[in-house]
Amino acid sequence: MIELNNVSKTYGTGRDAVHALKGVNLAIPKGAIHGVIGLSGAGKSTLIRCVNLLERPTQGTVTVDGQEITRLSNTALNQARHRIGMIFQHFNLLTTRNVFDNVALPLELMGQPRRDIRDRVSPLLEMVGLSDKADQFPAQLSGGQKQRVAIARALASNPRVLLCDEATSALDPQTTSSILELLRDINHKLGITILLITHEMEVVKSICHRVGLISNGELVEDAVVGDFFTAPRTQLGRDFLNDFLQLSPPKELLERLSDNPDTNAHPVVRLTFSGDAVSTPLISRLARDCGVDVSILQAKVESIQERTLGLMIAELLGTSEQTQAAMDYLADHQLQVEVLGYVQRND
Ligand SMILES: Nc1ncnc2c1ncn2[C@@H]1O[C@H](COP(=O)(O)OP(=O)(O)OP(=O)(O)O)[C@@H](O)[C@H]1O
């Protein structure tokens, strides 16, 4: 449904050039909800704005619903944009128009008769739960209600694709959940393909089927959500996951951690495990088979789209041969083992 082929975008020229996107390839099938996550300045907004050509790629092609929109004339592009709805972080409503007239705007611009517009807008307001607010103005609405108006407006021209540019970033967690619920509903009932960009893992976890990770303009990961959360392939992916799970060593331990694996030091490891490993009694096996005691500093189990993910930060207590054997044992059992550092023995 959405295909980006070798898309690059450079702002400015010469010494001022900013390479915001570098050879991005992305294929999003019809009916999918695809998230793209990344740090500030990574290129997320540029990426999503290249899909409806609010930004024109410097290189590469963009295809939406079978139509290569990077080849279209301006008139044909305007037509194609009716099939691509978009919502924004700050809603972008017209403050001088009431709710009904905001939703009606795209239909007016398409030249539709007033009666057809009424027939289209009323069910849309009902769908987003705002039938009773039709006569109110944006200033009279909460953030969540404003985003609902924006969603209804984006759906007015019956798009096949909905682009969501940080659509929940200005909302509190409870309102975010209700907007995500609405987007999930729209995707389900209308079969609309959704591409959303966000810096929040919670958004990805809640509604996305697949997720891409963008870093310095490059798409460095692209995976189904369950895989991304259980086995990110890049350090940046792991950093996002650890921030999301808020699992990092206690501050007083961090201060004592060194990089030096000398014979008097114990490794402190972060273990990530999923699938069968979650229910295997690995800790007792480490003690029995490797002679290593495990001191658990933090642990957490998360359910992510029918997958279970376990995380643990632990100190491995034993000789360096024993602790190395324990780490080999864990790696052999499909756990990701990351050595965070070493702490000196106290004895
Ligand atoms: N119109 C522009 N002119 C020049 N540089 C730009 C322009 N828009 C974006 N950039 C630069 O391109 C890079 C990518 O920006 P972009 O806004 O796509 O990132 P982002 O991931 O959406 O960031 P954020 O999460 O902070 O919005 C940044 O270095 C940014 O400064």
**Listed residue (194, 139, 127) closest to 165, CA to CA:** 194
What digits encode the pLDDT tens for the residues 64-86?
999 999 999 999 999 899 999 99
CA angle 141–164–226, rounded 5-degree value: 120
pLDDT in tens, 309-318: 888 889 999 9
Name the residue among 221, 205, 209 with its Cα closest to residue 303: 205
Atom of ligand 1 nearest to the CA of 199: 25
Q: Give residue-wise pLDDT tens across range 120-156.
A: 999 999 999 999 999 999 999 999 999 999 999 999 9
Determine the average pLDDT of the residues in 201-219.
95
**pLDDT exceeds 60 at position 347:** no
The Cβ of residue 262 has, within 10 Å, a number of other Cβ atoms equal to 9
* pLDDT tier at 271, thresholds 50, 70, 90: confident
| Residue 290 tokens, joined | 């490797």
Ligand 1 atom at minimal distance to the Cα of residue 55: 1
Q: Are 105 and 118 in contact (CB under 8 A)?
A: no
| Structure tokens belonging to residue 76 | 């044909």
Instruction: Kindly state the average pLDDT of the residues 175-201.
Output: 95
Strand 67-68: give its sheet, edge to edge.
18-28, 2-11, 59-64, 67-68
Class for the domain spanning 2-231: alpha beta
Segment 303-330 shows an average pLDDT of 87
Q: Which of 311, 325, 306, 203 is nearest to 248 (CA)?
A: 311
Contact 336, 273 (CB under 8 A): yes
Two tokens, residue 120 = 């289209």
What is the CA(227)–ligand 1 centre distance, in A?
A: 28
Give 21 Cα–ligand 1 centroid separation in angstroms. 10
- Say whether pLDDT at 231 is over 90: no
pLDDT at 281: 78
309: three-class secondary structure by DSSP? strand
Among the residues of the chain, which ranges form H helices? Answer: 44-51, 74-81, 99-109, 114-127, 143-155, 173-190, 201-207, 225-230, 235-245, 251-256, 282-285, 320-332
Res 167 pLDDT > 60: yes
Residue 107 pLDDT: 95
Taking the centre of ligand 1 as the mean of its atom positions, its distance from the CA of residue 46, in whole angstroms, is 6
Domain 2-231 shares a fold with domain 247-344: no
What's the pLDDT at 278? 66
Which amino acid appears at position 224 of this protein? V
Instruction: Please state which CATH number belongs to domain 247-344.
Output: 3.30.70.260
Interface pTM (ipTM) of the complex? 0.97
Q: Where are the domains of the chain?
A: 2-231, 247-344
DSSP letter string over 16-69?
Answer: G-EEEEEEEEEEE-TT-EEEEEE-TTSSHHHHHHHHTTSS--SEEEEEETTEEG
Average pLDDT, the chain: 91
CA distance linking residue 222 with residue 237, whole number of Å: 11
Model confidence, pTM? 0.85
In short, whether 198's Cβ falls inside 6 Å of ligand 1 is no
Protein residue with least CA distance to atom 7, ligand 1: 11
Q: Is the CB of 11 within 6 Å of ligand 1?
A: yes
Overall residue count recorded for the chain in this entry: 347
Q: Please tell me the residue having the least CA distance from ligand 1 atom 6.
A: 11
